[in-house]
Amino acid sequence: MPLRVALFQPDIPQNAGAILRLCACFGVPLEVIEPCGFVWTDAKLRRAGMDYIASAHLTRHANWDAFRAARPERLVLATTKGAVSAYQFEYHTNDILLFGSEGAGVPIDVHNAAGARLRIPMRPEARSLNVAMSAGMMVAEALRATDGLPQ
C-alpha cells in the first residue's frame, strides 16, 4: 500500500481541492473521512482542484469507523501538539498522513489512534499553518524520506 493522505472531516472546500491537486501531482491517494463541512460537489472544490481532480485517486469514507476498517495502516497525525518534528521522523512507505479539520482538528479518540503525532517546526508565537500548506510540506518530506518522489 502506498503512502496516503487522509483528511478528517474537512471544513473548507478550497483546502480540500488544493490537497486533492497536491495528491494528484505526487501520485498519492487521498482518503476523505466524512462528514465534510461542505457539499463535496461545491464549485470551489473544483476550482481549487482544477483539472487535476480527474487524475486523483480519491476514496471517501462515511465516517471514522469506516475509514479505520478500510485502512488499518499506521496513522501519522499532523498536529501542533506533536512532540516530534515532521523533519526528524522515520516515515514508512505505507503510512497514512492524517490532517484534521480546519476548525476543530481531530477528536481525542482519533488523536489517540495515531501511531505518531508530528509537528511542523515554526516560530513559537505562530499558531498554525494552513492545512493545505502543511499537507504539502509533509507529503513532500515523507516522499523524500522514503525515496518516493516522482522522477
pLDDT tens figures, 23-53 = 999 999 999 999 999 887 756 666 665 677 7
The one-letter code for the residue type at 110 is V
Residue 91 lies in a domain: yes
% of the chain at pLDDT higher than 70: 93
**3-state DSSP percent of the chain in helix, strand and coil, to 5:** 35, 20, 45
Residue 84 lies in a domain: yes
pLDDT of residue 45: 64
CB 4 within 8 A of CB 29: yes
Residue 151 lies in a domain: no
Number of Cβ within a 10 Å radius of residue 101: 19
pLDDT of residue 49: 59
CA-to-CA dists, residue 138 to 17, 92, 117, angstroms: 17, 13, 12
Based on the structure, what is the number of domains in the chain?
1
Give the range of the structural domain holding residue 76, as residue numbers without chain letter.
4-145
CATH number at residue 127: 3.40.1280.10
Residue 45 lies in a domain: yes
The one-letter code for the residue type at 97 is L
CB 99 within 8 A of CB 5: yes
Which of residues 40 and 89 earns the better pLDDT score?
A: 89
- Spatial distance between the Cα atoms of 95 and 142, rounded to a whole number of angstroms: 9
pLDDT of residue 50: 65
Burial of residue 135, with CB atoms counted within 10 A of its CB: 0-12 exposed, 13-18 middle, 19 or more buried: buried
% of the chain at pLDDT higher than 90: 79
- Look-up of cell digits 498519492: 28
| Entry pTM | 0.94
Which of 116, 107, 118, 108 is closest to 79 using CA atoms? 118
Residue 98 lies in a domain: yes
Residue 150 lies in a domain: no
DSSP H or E stretch at residue 109: helix 108-113
pLDDT of residue 42: 54
- Look-up of cell digits 485517486: 57
What's the pLDDT band for 101 if we cut at 50, 70, 90?
A: very high
Distance linking the first and last C-alpha atoms of the chain? 19
